Amino acid sequence: MSQVVLITGASSGIGKTSALLLAERGYIVYAGTRTPEKFDTNAENLHVIQLDITDSKSIRTAVKKIHKEQGRIDVLVNNAGYGLVSTVEDVTEEEMFNQFNVNVFGIFRVCKEVIPLMRENNSGVIINISSFLGKIGLPLLTFYNSSKYAVEGITDSLRYELRDFNIRVHSIMPGFFSTNFAKDNLVANVSTFDENSPYANLVSNLAPNIVEQINEGNDAGEAAELIVKMIEDEASLARETVGDKARQFIPMRRELSDEDFERRVREYYKLNG
């Protein structure tokens, strides 16, 4: 019997690539997106479904639809997210809330609806798409960083909470990937990017560097293959990295002291003034 997978944020990038790969591999895939009309596909086993993870009613409707059609959800991939680029000094209350509303509270909302179905079946896999920046801080990305640190905390705690119900919980920490993330999923605070900002030097140095690394990043197919592996291998680690930057920085983060690691990051991103 084919496993049923729900993926959030599936209209582009890692989400879309993973949805297509899983459907190709025989999974029954529900690709959740706020804009189903943008997901143009005739792939067998793939169902595009309206899903807004900031709206509990939208989530309940989607989950009920899947349950009615399939009777279960075996795998949840929490992929939806975006990055706010702002200093702490400049951020607005709305920007601050929206970042966590999508990247953190969205995961809670979807898990809240899906976990009961998995618990009743005494099986399931939840994969949270985090980021290598969930273990590493960078200026201008404080809110994105901290939201992904929260995703790591969610993963750790849920692993304990759901273990008795045979539900595996994992996170994947991608590096920079060559998707539309820089174009469609980075939101910039206007004041931070003002030419008269006291942070103008930092912005002019770091922001283009980050965008270039995203545009020249790894192929989303690497992350999709890891998702398949994580679903199929019950011995998968709690969290795994994918992509060059993640493979470079995460082991270094584990090995070095906080101060030594910070010096390495400052040198790499030319943050020494």
Residues with a known catalytic role: 11, 130, 144, 148
User: Phi and psi at residue 189, in whole multiples of 5°?
Assistant: -75, 130
**Cβ atoms within 10 Å, residue 236:** 17
- The β-bridge partners of 168 are 125
Cα(107)–Cα(255) distance, integer angstroms: 30
DSSP letter assigned to residue 180 = S
What lies within 8 Å, CB to CB, of 134 at 6+ separation is 145, 148, 149, 151, 152, 171, 173
The candidate with the shortest Cα–Cα distance to 133, out of 11, 30, 258, 249, is 249
Q: Are 222 and 242 in contact (CB under 8 A)?
A: yes
Apex CA 148: angle with CA 100 and CA 76, to 5°? 90
